[in-house]
């Protein structure tokens, strides 16, 4: 007589939460690291507000989303960095042929190209920009990828001199590889990735494009990345 494995039951329940197109669209949108209203997510997912409310309730109850209320507005965000990692890792497993299907409109093509060039993945930089920065850190001996992602001593010092403060006492790993779903190789995540992204946005090295996850490098950012990491040209604009 077999007994039910509670871990298996929990995994099936978690997979069931994600295995819905509307809920998956919400989780992907929330990878920008910001809080969205239920109305914004409903418009993004193309469903009625009443329909989305039921989906959000399930995601909150399942621990994937955190909910905040301010007056009449209901805001939701990803529960934590672990949820963001789970969503990004699953997205990276989608076959390339599906991700790169022909766009249905010029607007969709432009939005997809912007995301591929640079975007936020919860609280760190992703897309071609994310991998370019990760490669530059690795080439200069600031980041090691041969035995897993780890900042070198020189890397920790570099973050300090670059004005990107780290929190080595936090609960998250200092450096972690996150598989990029457009580039199909890792970019820098963890506390160091979050610190670099935060500094880039606060200092104006990068700016958000529109209301989604896409980011673009500013002329100031180009100079900084050249001075600090030796990145020449605009490799984040190059097509794969």
201 contacts 208 by C-beta, under 8 angstroms: yes
Of the spans 6-20, 123-137, 178-192, which averages the highest pLDDT? Answer: 123-137
Give the helix/strand (H/E) hosting 73.
strand 73-78
The pLDDT value recorded for residue 138 is 96
Report the distance separating Cα 87 and Cα 29, nearest Å.
Answer: 11
Q: Which of 55, 54, 48, 51 is nearest to 26 (CA)?
A: 55
pLDDT at 18 over 80: yes
Give all domains of the chain, ordered by start, each with its CATH number.
Answer: 6-79 (1.10.10.10), 103-237 (no CATH)
Q: 198: how many CB neighbours lie within 10 A of its CB? A: 15
What's the whole-number mean pLDDT along residues 104-127? 79
Query: pLDDT category, 140, cuts 50, 70, 90?
Result: very high
Angle 195-200-206 (CA atoms, 0-180°, nearest 5)? Answer: 145
Mean pLDDT of 147-173: 87
**Helix-helix angle 38-45:21-29, to 10 degrees:** 120
Mean pLDDT score, 223-240 = 88
* Helices (H), ranges, the chain: 6-18, 21-29, 38-45, 49-61, 81-91, 96-99, 106-117, 127-139, 153-161, 190-202, 219-229
Residues 61-115 pLDDT 10s = 999 999 988 777 788 999 988 898 888 888 878 776 555 555 565 565 566 788 8
**Residue-level pLDDT at 82:** 86
- Quick: pLDDT tens for 30-39: 988 888 888 8
């Amino acid at each position: 007589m077999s007994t039910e494995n509670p871990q298996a039951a929990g995994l099936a329940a978690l997979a069931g939460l994600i295995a819905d197109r509307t809920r998956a669209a919400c989780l992907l949108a929330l990878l920008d690291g910001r809080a969205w209203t239920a109305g914004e997510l409903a418009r993004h997912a193309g469903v009625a507000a009443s329909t989305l409310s039921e989906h959000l309730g399930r995601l909150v109850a399942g621990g994937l989303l955190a909910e905040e209320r301010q007056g009449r507005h209901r805001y939701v965000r990803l529960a934590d960095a672990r949820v963001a990692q789970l969503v990004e890792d699953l997205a990276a497993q989608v076959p390339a042929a599906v991700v790169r299907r022909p766009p249905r409109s010029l607007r969709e093509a432009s939005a997809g190209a912007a995301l591929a060039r640079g975007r936020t993945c919860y609280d760190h930089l992703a897309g071609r920009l994310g991998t370019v920065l990760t490669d530059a850190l690795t080439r200069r001996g600031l980041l090691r990828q041969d035995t897993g992602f780890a900042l070198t001593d020189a890397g920790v010092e570099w973050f300090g001199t670059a004005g990107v403060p780290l929190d080595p006492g936090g609960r998250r790993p200092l450096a972690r590889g996150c598989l990029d779903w457009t580039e199909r190789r890792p970019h820098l995540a963890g506390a160091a990735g979050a610190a670099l992204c935060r500094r880039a946005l606060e200092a104006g090295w990068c700016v958000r494009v529109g209301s989604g996850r896409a980011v673009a490098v500013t002329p100031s950012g180009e100079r900084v990345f050249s001075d600090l990491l030796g990145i020449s040209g605009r490799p984040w604009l190059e097509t794969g």
